[in-house]
C-alpha cells in the first residue's frame, strides 16, 4: 500500500474524495432546503482535501515507524494545518462562531473512517491472502 503512494495517485485521490465530499454535502444541503454553496467554501473544501491527502507522503518518510505512530503524527500535522487555514480565512471572511468545532468534527470523523477502512483492509487482505 505504501509503495502505491505517489504524486499521481494522490492527485487522483484528491479529485475523487473532493468530488464525493462535495456531492454528499450538496445532497445534505438540498435535503435541508439550502440551495446555494459559495465558491469560497468549495475552494476551502478543496484545500482541506489537498492537505489531508497530499500529506500522505509522510508515510514514505517514516517507513520504519509503526502505522499507528505515523497516523497520529499525520493527524496532528494535518489538523494543525487545517486550523491554520481556518484562522487565515477568518482574516478575510466572517467565520461562523462554531467554525473551529465544525471543522474539527467533520475532519476527525472522516479521518477516523478512512483510517478504519485502511486498517481493516490491511487486516483482511493479510487474512485472505
CA 8 from chain centre, in angstroms, equals 17
Beta carbons of 59 and 77 less than 8 angstroms apart: no
> Cα–Cα distance between 9 and 42 in angstroms, integer?
22
Q: What do you get for the CA distance between the two ends of the chain, in Å?
A: 14
Predicted local confidence at residue 26, as pLDDT:
76
CA distance 12 to 4: 12
Mind listing the pLDDT tens digit of every residue in the chain (129 residues)? 556 778 888 888 888 888 888 888 877 777 877 666 576 777 888 888 888 887 877 777 887 888 888 888 889 999 999 999 999 989 988 889 999 999 999 999 988 988 888 788 877 776 654
Total domains present in the chain: 1
pTM, full prediction: 0.70
- Domain range spanning residue 122? 2-128
Please tell me the predicted confidence (pLDDT) of residue 55: 82
Amino acid at each position: 500500500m505504501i509503495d502505491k503512494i505517489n504524486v499521481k495517485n494522490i492527485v487522483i485521490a484528491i479529485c475523487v474524495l473532493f468530488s464525493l465530499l462535495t456531492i454528499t454535502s450538496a445532497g445534505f444541503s438540498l435535503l435541508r432546503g439550502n440551495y446555494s454553496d459559495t465558491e469560497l467554501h468549495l475552494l476551502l473544501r478543496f484545500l482541506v482535501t489537498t492537505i489531508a491527502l497530499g500529506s500522505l507522503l509522510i508515510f514514505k518518510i517514516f517507513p520504519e515507524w509503526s502505522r499507528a505512530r505515523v497516523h497520529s503524527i499525520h493527524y496532528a500535522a494535518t489538523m494543525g494545518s487545517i486550523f491554520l487555514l481556518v484562522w487565515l480565512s477568518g482574516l478575510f471572511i466572517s467565520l461562523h462562531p462554531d467554525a473551529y468545532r465544525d471543522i474539527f468534527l467533520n475532519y476527525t470523523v472522516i479521518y477516523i473512517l478512512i483510517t478504519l477502512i485502511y486498517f481493516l483492509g490491511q487486516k483482511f487482505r493479510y487474512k485472505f491472502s
